Amino acid sequence: QVQLVQSGSELKKPGASVKVSCKASGYTFTSYAMNWVRQAPGQGLEWMGWINTNTGNPTYAQGFTGRFVFSLDTSVSTAYLQISSLKAEDTAVYYCARDVASNSGYDAFDIWGQGTMVTVSS
């Protein structure tokens, strides 16, 4: 079945980096854009941006430039989110989520990963 499986929880110290993976299965990975969404503890959903899985071109939302990098490994149908220079305020659940229809971006999200909890604490 169509699914996205994310890597496990991470505990990192301030200033460190983390790389979250999102492995797709059950569909053609390069046919649908992939988004990243952040949810801080007890808070709502925040869109971080998206990546065209065919071209690898990323688009970052305001507030997610500089320390955040979206990347792909199409050979294993996997998208990645890397966050550098981690801060306490980066503590959140990070979701990958697939566009409904295409690789054009700016769509609803029909398939979601289970989420990866990233905790930043000294």
Site for another protein, rule CB under 8 A: 35, 44-47, 61-62, 95, 97, 100, 106-110, 112-115
Q: Least distance in Å: CB of 113 to another protein?
A: 7
Q: Are 96 and 6 in contact (CB under 8 A)?
A: yes
Q: Least distance in Å: CB of 35 to another protein?
A: 8
Name which of 71, 92, 106, 96 is nearest 12 in CA terms: 92
Q: Are 109 and 98 in contact (CB under 8 A)?
A: yes
Amino acid at 36: W
Q: Least distance in Å: CB of 16 to another protein?
A: 25
